[in-house]
Structure formats: C-alpha cells, structure tokens
Amino acid sequence: MSHKILVSDPISEEGLKSLLDNNEFEVDIQTDLSEEELINIIGNYEGLIVRSQTQVTDKIINSASRLKVIARAGVGVDNIDIEAATLKGILVINAPDGNTISATEHSIAMILAMARNIPQAHQSLRNKEWNRKAFRGVELYGKTLGVIGAGRIGLGVAKRAQSFGMKILAFDPYLTEDKAKSLDIQNATVDEIAEQADFVTVHTPLTPKTRGIVGESFFNKAKPNLQIINVARGGIIDEEALIHALDNNLIDRAAIDVFEHEPPTDSLLISHDKIIVTPHLGASTVEAQEKVAVSVSEEIVDILTNGTVEHAVNAPKMDLSNVDETVKSFVDLGTTIGEFAIQLLEGAPSEIKITFAGDLATNDTSLITRTIVTNILKEYLGEEVNIINALALLNQQGVTYNIEKQKKHSDFSSYVELKLTNDKDQIKIGATVLAGFGPRIVRINDFSLDFKPNEYQIVTCHKDKPGIVGQTGNLLGSHGINIASMTLGRNNEGGDALMILSIDQQASLDVINILRETGGFNRIISTKLTI
C-alpha cells in the first residue's frame, strides 16, 4: 500500500523528485484549496507539504485521521497550528538549512543597497531626475559590522563582509573565544556592538530573550552613522524604537525584510524615508525553494519508511505507558531542572554533565537526558528545540555533554544532578522525586536544601547576616508579591548563603533592581518554570 502525500502549495516537481520517483508514494498536487476543501480531503493522506500560503488550522489537523507528518518547505512554520499537531501526534518538519545561502546573500544585498542608496536612486532616475549629490553613500571597507546571532547565516554574512575589508564584532551566547579567534572575528556583547558598530545585522531566533534585543537602550548607545538590517525575524528589532531612533537621528538608516506583523499594511516602516524594505525575500530564490522542497521530500520518505526524523519542529506527546515508573516520575523533573539551571547560569553553557544515581541509574535514562537538554537549549534557541532534535542542536552549538551513572546515592534511592559550566560561571542542581512529596530540588552548587519547585522563584546569593530575610519579605510585600515558601541554605555561620523564595507572581525587573539597591546581595535571579 502506497503512502499518500498531498502538496497544497506550488512546489517545483524537481524538488519533489524523491517522492514522485518512489513507487511507495502517491503524490497529489492540489493548490489554492480553501480550509473547507482541505478538511474534506485531508483524511486520505499521511503527509501534507505546504509553503506559506496554506494555513494549516486546528480544524484541518483534527480532521486528519491518517496524517503523520506536516512538512513546511521552508523555515518558518507560523502558518501551521503546532500545538494542535502536537496534541494529535503529528510531526511537523521544516528545512532549516535550505535557505542559508539565500538569506546570507540577501543580507549582503540589503547592506549594499542601504549603504549606497540604490532603491532611492533608482526611483529618482525613474522619475527623470538626475540628483547624484542626494544619494551619496558610504564604503563598507574599513567599517565595523556587528553580527547579533552567530549561527549559520550570521557567520555566513560575517565571512562575506570580511571580503569587503570589514571588521567583525559578533554576539552569540554559544560563540566561544576560541571559535571567534579561529574565524578572525571579535566576540562582543550587544552593548559593545551598539557602541562600536557602523553596520549591524541580526540573525537570532525570536525568543523572549531576543525579542526587542535591539531596542531603545541599543539605539541610545549607537553611533549616529549606524546602519542596521533585519533579514531574520520580525520583533528582534523593536519597530517603534527603530522609528524613534531614525526620526531623532540617533542612527542613520535601516533595511528591513521581516516584520512583526506580515504583511505590514499599516506599518510606518514601509513608508519611512530612511528605511528600505523588501517583502520577506530572504529565502526567495530559485535555488533555495528547490533545496527546501528536496529536504522535506527526502525527510518524509525517511519518516514514513524508516522512522528517521531529523528536522522536527515539534515533538508529539510522549507515550509513557511502557516507560518504567521511576523514569516516568523523573521526566517532568528533567524539564524543571533544565529550565532552572540555565536561568541561574550566567551565559550559555559550554559543557553539560548529567549524573544519574541509585535505582534511576539502572534504567534507560535517554528520555530524561533529552528532556533536560531540550529545556536548557530553549532558553536561547526557542521553540525550535524538542526532544527529537535536542542532541543534534547541542552538537551544532559546540557544547560537550557527559552522562555518568552511579549505582548508589548516599541520601536518595534515585537522584539526578545537572552541572552546567562555561568560562564565567558554574551551576550544579541536584534533584529527586520523593514518594508523597513529588519533585524536590535538594542541592544548588554546594548548598544542601529541600524545596518544591514553583512557577516563580527569586534566588539570592548573599552573606549570612541578620536582616536579609526581613528586608526582602518587606520589600516584596510592599509590591504586592506574596511569598509561598522560603528555603535557606548556608555552609557556615556568617559565610555564603542562599535563599530561594517561591512566589505567587513573577517579580518585575523593577522589583529585582530595587532589591539589588538595598545591598547585601551578591546576586539576585528571578526564574520562571513550566510547572
């Protein structure tokens, strides 16, 4: 029996060759289908291939009785209801590598067009004007390019910019000094890029950490001649702050290919004299469209014939019915300690060590490992990370990891310990699941303690002295933040101490800053966990 695949958006037949030439697959190409038309036929198919036109809604997904995989021939999956697919157990895959060259080259094209006023000069000449002085540009040679996000595309732009004689400053949480040195680029903070760069390009995923990473603060530090582009994701550059910076001559100009809301029908960006815009063309080349089609077609063959998954965007709900009860109880704990540890660590890890001890160590712990790593990586890489691709993405970031198993633990029948290390910091989290009490964090670095993880925590490091607990409680109370529980740890009287406050509402940055100003704290961290 052949696998039936529906292609509902225009895709080149050359890109679909691995499916069309395979006798085990039957491919139907039906484009411009309405939601109702898709609902009526989707039950016949095991695979669905789309680009950006088809909106794969929850109604379509819930009508898909046989569907095993939805493939987006491209990178973005905003047109697919990921949550509905996940709940239905349907894999969603994309082609993250297919547009690398195209997006890289479009970034360079935007930089050059912006630097030399090419769109404006073109339009002026079309209007039968000859105004050379109005469109005087600047050279790239000798200028500094700031690259925020040094992944495949960011480093591709940096390499090409170096051929123009540009100096490269790069920010990426996973960019090490050794890697930067080998690429002849300088590792920098976002603030250093703001202060020193003549040109800036952004190439990060859109996550809570990167949303608005280039915003008011960045523009206030920037050189007035700064020119900035975004060919990554709308929202990385704060659009309102960008308009303000251009209107007040804080920076010189911008080139934007992506927008917070697309199409940007009422955006001031598309009519601003100092901005050149393109309609999300980063991946719009003949070669890129063929590459992404080839990629998803080949992966659909692998998924439906071999069960091999490489580029999953989601991870369908895990079936834990046949998993050992001890392992099952630690899977959710893996999410907690992964999230907690990465929020406590200053920067991204270069090394990860996971230790399993006691009864837990005698079981297959691969699912727990993948869960922990997934939730570490999500802090910087966002929702593209899941239990299927986590270890591959970890390797891609150059992070080493080590698993250790011990037959016994001195205090607990089963125990897991996560250690994250980089060149500035180290965090160790020990945890267990206690019968009748559930998940417990029992160690943070060298402090032994016992607390039940909550959605919101404030973690402080300070010297053990009278008054710290009282002033903290009073301050939180004055801002309407209720303390659910408090856990204290210290190694000796008057020495280093740790306090964990589980709170009912997340503490704002303003509250954390007020706490810092009260003095007595070496470090204060606000955390949010998936509980």
Least confident of 112-126, 158-172, 409-423, 479-493: 479-493
Instruction: Render pLDDT for 341-360 as a digit per residue (tens, 0 to 9).
Output: 999 999 999 999 999 999 99
Stated as kind and residue range, the H or E segment containing 501 is strand 496-503
| Catalytic residue from among 3, 280, 311, 409 | 280
Q: Domain for residue 130, yes or no?
A: yes
Dihedral angle sign, alpha carbons of residues 436, 442, 448, 453: negative
305 lies in the same domain as 165: no
In a domain, 6, yes or no: yes
Q: Which amino acid is at 509?
A: L
> Do 132 and 90 share a structural domain?
no
Give the span between the Cα atoms of 31 and 6, in whole angstroms.
9
**Is the per-residue pLDDT at 226 higher than 90?**
yes
The torsion region of residue 370 among left (phi > 0), alpha (psi -120 to 50) and beta comes to alpha
Quick check: is 82 in a domain?
yes
Q: What percent of the chain is predicted at pLDDT more than 70?
A: 99
The residue annotated as part of the active site, out of 203, 233, 253, 462, is 233
- pLDDT at position 315, please? 81
pLDDT of residue 177: 92
Q: Are 499 and 486 in contact (CB under 8 A)?
A: yes
What's residue 282's pLDDT? Answer: 93
pLDDT at 267: 87
Last residue of a domain, one of 418, 444, 470: 444
Question: Which of these, 111, 152, 108, 102, lies nearest to 285 by C-alpha position?
Answer: 102
Residues 103 and 211 in one domain: yes
- Which tokens in the block code for residue 29? 């190409």
**Same-domain pairing of 225 and 91:** no
> Do residue 388 and residue 519 come from a single domain?
no
Are both 310 and 336 inside the same structural domain?
Answer: no
Residue 410 lies in a domain: yes
Averaged pLDDT, 512-522: 87
Amino acid in position 245 = A
pLDDT, mean over the chain: 93
Predicted TM-score of the model (pTM): 0.87
Do 438 and 377 have their domain in common? yes
55-58 own/partner pairs: CB under 8 Å, 24+ apart: 55/79, 56/80, 56/81, 56/85, 57/81, 57/84, 58/83, 58/84
* Same domain membership, residue 481 and residue 363: no
Q: 280 in a domain, yes or no?
A: no
Tell whether the model's pLDDT for residue 76 goes beyond 90: no
DSSP 228: E
The domain of 502 spans 454-530
Question: Is 280 labeled as catalytic in the residue annotation?
Answer: yes
336/311 same-domain check: no
H or E element in which residue 382 lies: none
Q: Phi and psi for 98 in degrees, rounded to 5?
A: -65, -25
pLDDT in tens, 247-278: 999 999 999 999 999 889 888 999 999 999 99
When divided into structural domains, the chain yields a total of 4
Identify the active-site residue in 192, 195, 262, 310: 262
pLDDT band at 435 (very low <50, low <70, confident <90, very high): confident
Query: Where does a domain end: 275, 299, 332?
Result: 275
pLDDT one-digit tens code per residue, 271-320: 999 999 999 999 889 999 899 999 999 999 999 998 888 888 888 777 67
Nearest by Cα to 102 from 233, 285, 296: 285
Q: Are residues 380 and 257 in the same domain?
A: no
- The CATH code of the domain that includes 496 is 3.30.70.260
Q: CATH code at 25?
A: 3.40.50.720
| Helix H or strand E segment including 334 | helix 325-344
Same structural domain, 71 and 202? no
Strands (E), 32-119: 47-50, 69-72, 91-93
Interval 84-93: pLDDT, tens: 998 898 999 9
Domain assignment present for residue 449? The answer is: no
* pLDDT given at position 6: 97
83 among known catalytic residues = no
pLDDT in tens, 154-189: 999 999 999 999 999 999 999 999 999 999 999 999
Same domain, 402 and 415: yes
Residues 415, 398: contact at Cβ < 8 Å?
no
Q: With 80 as the cut, is the pLDDT of residue 1 above it?
A: no
| Helix, strand, or coil (residue 461) | strand
233 belongs to the catalytic site: yes
Matching residue, tokens 């297959």: 364
Q: How much is the average pLDDT of 194-209? A: 96
Do the strands 253-256 and 25-29 form a parallel or antiparallel pair, or are they unpaired?
unpaired
Q: Write down the pLDDT at residue 13.
A: 86
CB 68 within 8 A of CB 91: yes
Of 128-137, 370-379, 480-489, 513-522, the least confident: 513-522
Query: What is the chain's length?
Result: 531
CATH number at residue 331: 3.30.1330.90
